Structure 1
Amino acid sequence: MRALPLRIKLTALTLALLSVGLVFIGVASVSMLHGYLIERVDLQVDQVMHKAHLKIDKFDPKLNLMAEDVVVQLVRPDGTRESMVKELRDVDAQPPPGLPPAMGENMTVHAVQGRGEWRAKLMPAGESQLLVAVDLREVSDITRQLVIIELLGGSVILAVLAVVGVATLRRSMRSLHEIERTAEAIAAGDLGRRVPDSDPRTEVGRLSMAFNSMLAQIESAFQARSESEKAARRSEDRMRRFVADASHELRTPLTSIRGFAEFARQNPDADSAAMLKRIEEAAARMGLLVDDLLLLARVDQHRPLRKSPVDMLALAADAVHDGRILAPERDIRLDVVGGAALIVSGDEVRLRQVVGNLMSNALVHTPEATPVTVRVGLTGERVFLEVADKGPGLTPEQAERVFERFYRADSARSRRTGEDRGSGLGLAIVDALVEAHGGTVGVSSRVGSGTTFRVELPLALE
């Protein structure tokens, strides 16, 4: 058997309780009215009984009664009855009432024939008995009319309340239907669906607010999970690419070492010193590559840095000084913006490596006569350092990927100068180290106008 809807259950329960209440009130009111009418009849019986006794005492057994529903009879010892009313009435033609089983009490008795009922009282009167009875037909009619009125009125009340209750419940539970439809839509994949707002003072309104809050948290959790899965896939892709690139980069110096070793073995008369030098150079390149890979691995593991106050102006000045020594033919300048102390909290060795990599990148990837400017200053509560050149610049696609590991702007796996090629990790190391220090690094470039790398680090607050 299918479960009934909640609104039907509530309506049925309400109507059932109301019916019980109406029945109780109806029974009580009918009982009270019937009891009141019986008391009035008993009072009438007692009054007529008193008058009849007075008549008997005066030897005048005939009464003048205006009431049409009262009989007064003398019951002889032989069981015959004699009416004490002077005029014959319609009530006298009805089947007479039965005799009460007890003397001196007002009792309800049935007629000797038929279904009539009487309220009767029997009292001794000499050798005979005096019977006074009132026909209860009028009492029954009044009681029956009251029952009919209560049944009709109760039915009308129940019908009206049923209609009003169903309409009210349907309107009140409309929000529950909205919640049901929203849940079905969410189950179908629409996580952005929400329940319309209702009055927060009502139970349904508070339920809607709680439901919407829960949906927002679920949507946030699903979005976070989706973003996490995407990040994991991107990380996995980068890891695969990183492993493939690292294998390729390590294979090159290893191939050189193997080739020189085999050449020296196959040619004993060859210049061993020259062969060993070439092997040593290849091993050194491989060692630098391994060192860069280890550095990136440590940064990826979020190992804590040895932080201390670092003067970025001093690092910029040292980088400019070293650049002028390495490339004396270039115009390398230092530009200081403002006069504030440019102190950051960080690892001086790693920050020096950041500035050195940016300077080396500008010197290696631009023509020999290209000027380079190192600019440091303060913007808000962040220290910035820029390395700008007037070289050939980068395309938007190259600028977007310039910080990727093993990426080279010319899209080649090896440099144009053969063995004197880098690993493609210099700018990736810059990006990782700056991020580890809580900073940001970016690049702005236009083809033919040069390139500017900008590093921003939080200012060390005393």
Structure 2
Amino acid sequence: MLRPAPSLKVKLGLGAFVLALAALVTAGVLVLAMQRVSDRIEASLAAEARIERYSVLSTQISTFIVIAAESIQSGIPMEQRTQRLDSVAANVTRTFARLRRDLEEAVAEAQRLGIDEQSRRATQSIGIARMEALFVSTRDAMLTSGTDRERLQGFIDTFAMGFDPLLNGVITDEVRARNAILAGIDDLRRALNLTALGVAAATVLLMGLFYIGLVRPQVSRLDLLRDAARQIGQEDFAVTLPDRPRDEIGGLFAETNRMAAALAARRDAVEFEWSRLNATIEERTEALQRANDKLAQTDENRRRFFADISHELRTPLTVILMEAQLGRKGAEAAEGCFQTIEARALRLNRRIDDLLRIARSESGQLALEFGAVDLGGVARDAAEDAAAEIASAGMTLELAEAPPLQVHGDRNWLRQVVTGLIQNAVRHARSGGRISLHVRRHDDMGIVEVIDNGPGIAEADQSRIFERFGQGTGSAKSEGFGIGLALARWVIDQHDGRISVTSPLPREAAVGPAPGTKIAVAVPLARD
């Protein structure tokens, strides 16, 4: 007895089952692949974060070495050396703690990437432990009393030579791991493409069999399904098949629609992650370029700084040598020569102290000595300090009678600020021939004003002159360090005061026909 042939419902049901199974397998493969891609992207971003952390550690270690070496060479007491190194050492210790936490998270994360990745992470933790041990031993040696200078220097040299190779090795390993992760993402993408093509080929084959085995009225509907499958195989997921009538083929159409929507969502997610990764790479590249540009500018400023130091120190040295030669020849005014030598030597010594303070000021190591200070006396001392330069430039200084004003501040630094303002006026307003120095009171502030008869400062430059190494665009641009006003602002900020520039001046406030410039320094009055 012949068995009846399977009905259309059975055939369509079987076909729907096969297609649904294929869709589920495809969706599962895609989910797994996307999860692995996501895992690798997260691992890559984590590697970038750890590389940045290593960069922070490198900067902190460099700061620690510089401060430690300076402390040894200057021979400061143990208490001061401890104060200088405590904050830097604490920062380095916190960074090591963060790196250990990062590696613990990376080891846990590496379980999804295989035993080799876990082993590499564990090996990397050994390098960090060695670096931390080397740092701890050096820090303890620096903070231990009774250690001689040569031995401390040996600790620093050993630390500097041993730490850098360890840090470079860890960073190189991290960069290599990140590159391997990115390469793995490309491999996964190629495998996903091959899987999608395989699914598309299988679907087309099934559609061909259904066309031959089913009755002609169903061919048009099956053609729609075949075309949809081909469209999906070409990674075009904008598929919308009719869901009427609600029979077996209609159910298959609905499943196909859902599959296409899922694939489209996965594709959009992958494209979004790729765009984010590309944006991150572009951002890091731009940041690196900015860092390189800033480093080049810093090097240029350093060369200019040392060139200007030689210029600033040569003048008093020349005067000292000339007066010493006159005194040795037995000049009648030998006493005056020696007085000039002494005054110039004191000035040169102050200038060297100023340069050392300038070099240290940005690291926050400069300590001001506050007390009650006569602001009028500060102005008179500053005028005396700059008298030789004023006379050499053929200029005159008008010092108005100063009222008795007691301010709260550091006398030496306030004198240097006012002297620097007068010297700036000499450099930039020499053609005007006149400088005016006023001391007055306004509310609870004592104010010193330095007014010149120069060409003034362009409005576009007034916001730059208080920046470190910032200069105007006038004819005197190349004179001086380009740090005088920046240092002056720093000193006045430490006094809770303010410094301001006005240029050009109103006619009633000017000291001559030129536009002129006024720089005013305001310091809080001393409390009774």
- TM-score scaled by length of structure 2: 0.39
- TM-score scaled by length of structure 1: 0.44
Q: Please state which structure has a larger fraction of its residues in helix.
A: 2
Max radius of gyration: which structure?
Answer: 1
